[in-house]
């Protein structure tokens, strides 16, 4: 059987493979069929039985109306939509990469935390994409779309391997073009990323997305969930309280200036947040280039390609195979279809003003299953008359209890049966003020009037979220050692990237801070990459040294037998005092010296290239007091074989000795 005969044509697209298969819709990677065009797209195809439902078509078209006109580097682009062979579909920009949640999970596996500069850049780009959507106007009418995403989270920020950042999944976005407004009492979006004003019944505006983006940045910097509790009730309680730990209190590598930006975006009172996401982006960019002037956007590409090196290699091989497919038979088949009077794709799906309204309940975690059944909770809320907090004189009385009221006893019984409040630290009185949770299965055919349509809504409106994995597996916090700022005493030497060469591997340095620490391989200063990895030889012994000013050096003798990457944890290094040996500008001697520090045999050229010389530690006596230290130094002139021994004594901290006086 030929490769072509195995393939399926879907209108003007050739299906390459399935990224996500679900019961209501599936996301596929496909190739646009054209004589002069080679474009890979992502297609979301709704199953025929749901495509026939007029109400479902209305919901589908609401999503299209929101996204079709958007054209921005940081927003997923919609190319095409319609009906083909009785199936609703939408063709979207294919993002060759992973979502931010997958990056966080991958870093957790390798016990790394997102670099501060990379985190800042990603969120700044997300700010730009969302600000564009918030201020978007229809090009033909000039009408403001008034788009609010409402589902910003790490799941819905795509990072391509080339370093691009894309906002995806406008499936539940609120905009002027929606055919029906949100039903009162309906919760939309992922529970852990809701803003306090939502629970207080205030009308949402773009600052709602800013709060969710602030949560995402906090979680990248701290490598843990911000609003995490044992059950949904406790999570909502924490959101209402909105007590935000300062990021630097968890990750000491976060500068105070970035703390201020994060806390401003996460202000409970939205009037204290940034005026808009353009202002937040300006603050982030100002911080980024003030603190990290050498940062370049290509650093993200390198970071992504290092982190997902194996996955990228496998996918590239698969894409190359796709490129070998002969598309001529599919083009001829499509041409015959047109000649018979039918088009490759039927007319775009039409909406019906008479479509029955869908009663929607909240379905948390909008996205597609990937083979494992995910728990979906519906949050049922009674409608109540609420006076917006911003229009009242009191700043405290319009609480969440006024927004989410009166829990009925049967629903509370369901919560207890399902363990919903078993581990909660919320009292029964508080719980009755908060919310009621219905954990009945969506697939219950006896209650399809609400449950099924809510499930359809959640499943379909995944938007461009075609890389979604399973529900959140919480990252663990990685400890970061607190150390003093470093004075660079030795400039970094340029070394070539030998990661692809035979005989080399990579060592991943856990708890390594490249802003403060220096790493040496066999005495040669080496720059760690964005993933804190360094290139080392295979099959030959080598010495790894990590040092920081005023601390004892970490030294490890290693010998790797294969090219597999290994991990080395950098411990917290104890304080140590040093003196220095240097060569003056008038030094006429030319050669090299040999000596030993912390058991590591080292060699330095004469005259020394290091501006401040070489640091030699003092001794520490039994009482912990500093004592003089004597070192044996062997000097050999250039073109001579004889060595001369010199004893040098370091008597006090920061003492500098010109070794030329002994040569």
- Asked if omega into 595 is within 30° of 0 (cis), the reply is no
The confidence score (pLDDT) of residue 593 equals 93
Place of tokens 């040569």: 663
Low-confidence ranges of the chain (pLDDT < 50): 1, 175, 177-186, 347-501
Q: What b/e readout covers 67-95, taking b as 16+ CB neighbours within 10 angstroms?
A: bbbbebebbbbbebbbbbeebbbbbbbbb
151 belongs to the catalytic site: yes
The confidence score (pLDDT) of residue 189 equals 59
Q: Rounded CA gap, 526 and 536, in Å?
A: 10
Q: How far is CA 158 from CA 79, 93, 99, 100, 470, in A?
A: 18, 12, 4, 6, 16
pLDDT (tens digit per residue) in 373-395: 333 333 433 333 334 434 434 33
Residues 6+ apart with CB under 8 A from 531: 110, 112, 303, 306, 307, 508
Q: Rounded CA gap, 336 and 341, in Å?
A: 9
The confidence score (pLDDT) of residue 622 equals 78
Q: Rounded CA gap, 173 and 212, in Å?
A: 14
Domain 3-349+358-460 carries which CATH code? 1.10.510.10
Q: How far is CA 300 from CA 21, 117, 163, 304, 621, in A?
A: 30, 9, 5, 6, 48
The confidence score (pLDDT) of residue 515 equals 74
Q: Rounded CA gap, 17 and 114, in Å?
A: 31
Domain 479-575 carries which CATH code? 2.60.40
Residues 6+ apart with CB under 8 A from 586: 660
Q: Rounded CA gap, 183 and 359, in Å?
A: 8
The pTM score is: 0.61
Return the domain boundaries, the chain.
Answer: 3-349+358-460, 479-575, 577-663
Q: How far is CA 417 from CA 235, 433, 447, in A?
A: 19, 20, 20
The confidence score (pLDDT) of residue 36 equals 64
Q: What b/e readout covers 374-395, taking b as 16+ CB neighbours within 10 angstroms?
A: eebbbbbbeeeeeeebeeeeee
Helix H, strand E, coil C: the string for 97-126 is EEEHHHHHHHHHHCCCCCCHHHHHHHHHHH
> Which candidate in 105, 151, 232, 438 is catalytic?
151
The confidence score (pLDDT) of residue 427 equals 42
Helix-strand-coil percent breakdown of the chain, rounded to 5? 30, 20, 50
Kindly give the pairing relationship between strand 554-558 and strand 542-547.
antiparallel
């Amino acid at each position: 059987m030929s490769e072509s005969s195995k393939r399926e044509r879907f209108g003007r697209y050739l299906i390459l493979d399935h990224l996500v298969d679900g019961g209501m819709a599936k996301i596929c990677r496909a190739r646009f069929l054209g004589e002069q065009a080679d474009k890979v797209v992502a297609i979301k195809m709704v199953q025929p039985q749901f495509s026939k439902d007029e109400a479902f078509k209305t919901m589908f078209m609401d999503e299209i109306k929101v996204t079709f006109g958007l054209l921005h580097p940081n927003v997923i682009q919609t190319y095409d939509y319609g009906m083909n062979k009785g199936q609703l579909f939408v063709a979207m920009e294919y993002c060759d990469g992973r979502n931010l949640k997958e990056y966080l999970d991958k870093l957790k596996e390798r016990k790394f935390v997102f670099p501060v500069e990379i985190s800042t850049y990603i969120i700044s780009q997300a700010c730009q994409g969302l600000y564009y959507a918030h201020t978007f106007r229809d090009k033909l009418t000039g009408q403001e779309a008034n788009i609010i995403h409402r589902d910003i989270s790490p799941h819905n920020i795509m990072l391509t391997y080339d370093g691009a950042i894309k906002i995806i999944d406008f499936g539940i976005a609120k905009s002027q073009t929606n055919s029906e407004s949100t039903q009162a009492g309906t919760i939309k979006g992922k529970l852990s990323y809701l803003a306090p004003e939502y629970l207080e019944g205030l009308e949402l505006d773009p600052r709602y997305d800013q709060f969710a983006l602030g949560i995402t940045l906090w979680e990248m910097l701290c490598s843990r969930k911000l609003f995490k509790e044992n059950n949904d009730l406790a999570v909502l309680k924490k959101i209402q309280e909105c007590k935000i730990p300062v990021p630097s209190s968890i990750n000491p590598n976060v500068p105070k200036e970035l703390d201020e930006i994060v806390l401003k975006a996460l202000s409970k009172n939205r009037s204290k947040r940034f005026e808009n996401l353009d202002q937040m982006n300006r603050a982030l960019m100002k911080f980024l280039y003030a603190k990290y002037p050498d940062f370049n956007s290509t650093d993200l590409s390198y970071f992504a390609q290092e982190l997902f090196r194996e996955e990228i290699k496998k996918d590239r091989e698969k894409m190359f195979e796709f490129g070998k497919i002969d598309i001529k038979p599919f083009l001829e088949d499509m041409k015959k279809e047109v000649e018979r009077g039918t088009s490759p794709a039927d007319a775009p799906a039409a909406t019906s003003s008479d479509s029955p309204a869908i009663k929607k309940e909240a379905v948390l975690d909008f996205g597609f299953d990937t083979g494992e059944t995910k728990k979906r909770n519906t949050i049922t809320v009674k409608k109540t008359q609420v006076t917006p907090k911003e229009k009242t004189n009191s700043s405290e009385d319009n609480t969440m209890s006024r927004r989410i009221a009166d829990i009925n006893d049967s629903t509370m019984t369901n919560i207890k049966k399902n363990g919903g409040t078993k581990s909660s630290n919320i009292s029964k009185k508080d719980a009755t003020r908060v919310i009621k949770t219905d954990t009945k299965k969506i697939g219950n055919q006896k209650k399809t009037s609400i449950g099924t349509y809510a499930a359809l809504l959640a499943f379909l409106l995944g938007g461009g979220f075609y890389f979604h994995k399973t529900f959140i597996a919480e990252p663990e916090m990685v400890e970061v050692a607190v150390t003093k700022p470093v004075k660079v005493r030795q400039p970094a030497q340029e070394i070539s990237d030998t990661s692809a060469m035979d005989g080399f591997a990579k060592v991943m340095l856990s708890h390594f801070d490249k802003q403060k620490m220096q790493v040496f391989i066999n005495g040669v200063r080496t720059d760690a990459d964005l993933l804190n990895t360094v290139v080392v030889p295979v099959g030959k012994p080598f010495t790894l040294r990590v040092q920081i000013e005023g601390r004892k050096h970490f030294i490890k003798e290693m010998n790797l037998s294969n090219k597999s990457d290994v991990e080395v944890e950098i411990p917290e290094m104890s304080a140590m005092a040093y003196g220095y040996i240097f060569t003056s500008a008038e030094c006429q001697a030319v050669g090299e010296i040999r000596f030993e520090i912390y058991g590591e045999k080292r060699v330095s050229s004469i005259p020394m290239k290091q501006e401040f010389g070489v640091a030699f530690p003092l001794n520490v006596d039994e009482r912990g007091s500093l004592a003089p230290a004597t070192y044996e130094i062997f000097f050999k002139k250039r073109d001579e074989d004889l060595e001369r021994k010199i004893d040098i004594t370091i008597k006090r901290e920061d003492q500098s000795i010109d070794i030329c006086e002994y040569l």
